[in-house]
Amino acid sequence: MAKKFDIPDIYQSPIIRKVKDHNKVLDPRKKDRDPTVLDFGPVHFYIPRHFGFCYGVENAIDIAYRTVEENPDRDIYLLSEMIHNPTVNEDLHQRGVQFLFETDGTERIPLETLDEDDIVIVPAFGTTVEMQEKLQEQGIDPYEYDTTCPFVEKVWRRGRQISEKGYSLVIHGKHRHEETRATLSHTAQHSPAVVVLNPEEAQILADILLEKRPAGDFETYFGHKCTDGFDPFEDLESFGVINQTTMLANETQEVMEILKEAASERFGDENFADTSDTLCYATNENQSATYALTEQDLDLALVVGGYNSSNTMHIAEILEHHFPTYHIRDVQELDGPRSIRHYDQWNDEVKQTENWIPDHEGPLKVAVTSGASCPDVLVDEVMLELLTFYEDTREVDEVIAPLEKADE
């Protein structure tokens, strides 16, 4: 039986939860990728099969809120944002939880000011070996309130397993992201490793290996995100690729193929570890469900989630190749029917777009989804706000009733 988590009522969703419950009943083995269509008359919402809170996020929320409730008289800290969703982090802050570091590692509260009576919650991304040691020096057990996602820990274990067979590791991830910083730190305990962001960087590394670029380019592009002494001319003779768990699966495969081809050309044989199982199940499901949305004839897509959420950005990236896509933090970014604020990940800025809703005959067809750290209730709020832009929309109960009837 799947583990049940205690999620606060403030994150419960009256609309999306019913859609998800309905899909669980009709498709318990998760084989169907077709989106659910909610027909509100002038607006049709296309809801993907998989999105929103994943196992790791629910586990982290359960632990964090239970810790706050059970320790009203103790100072409670998070190393950094527990997950990349501002609504959740702001609520924890309002409940008295303090944040020790910014997401980029900048210190907010000196660790030296903490003592053994304080509680430190490790976020879902995990943390570095060095940070674990610093906490222990302060008399704080870094494992007592540890919300590290089990699938992040799976990557760490898989990396150790293949390193014990003599392989180096390439980490496909964003080197400033908390999870990738933690993965590189844990990997450094047992294996040479280098972080590669995308296929373009993989090609740079491949060209260095094949001496199409000067050897000094390694220090320029990768010197700040590899283990000490990493030598591509030695360490890429046998390697495996592991992930930051939220990366695009097809990009991981492309990174692997580019480096495998270059290594085979240089060393004359193939000696690569099979690491295809290190991408998180939820990331795979959510990306597959997102690709299924792209097969629909839609007017636009709304992707709800934190602006520093990696998996949310990847969902938006998939969709924006097919129709206008707006990555929004929450309902507050909708400024009436003619203006929307949204995140442009390519220029790292929040933009405002006018006339974002197309004017045409027939219903507006909108894909609505979210990142794995986004509460479903925020998606509900976006949908309900969009409906206020139209007259004669159907009532929520009327639209949801067929789903509930089918589940009986």
364-370/349-354 β-pairing:
unpaired
Q: How many CB atoms lie within 10 A of CB 113?
A: 10
As a whole number of Å, the CA-based R_g of the chain is 23
> What number of CA atoms fall less than 13 Å from residue 232's CA on the CB side?
30
Question: ∠ at Cα 299 (295, 302), nearest 5°?
Answer: 90
179 as an active site residue: the answer is yes
Question: ∠ at Cα 303 (363, 335), nearest 5°?
Answer: 70
For 364, phi then psi, to 5°, come to -75, 125
Reduced to 3 states, what is the DSSP secondary structure of residue 83?
A: coil
Report the sign of the C-alpha dihedral through residues 198, 203, 208, 214, in that order. Answer: negative
Residue for token pair 């260095």: 208
Residue for token pair 């190749």: 321
Catalytic residue among 81, 179, 237, 251: 179
DSSP one-letter string for 208-239: HHTTSS-TTHHHHHHTTSB-TT--HHHHTSSE
List, by residue number, the catalytic residues. Answer: 179
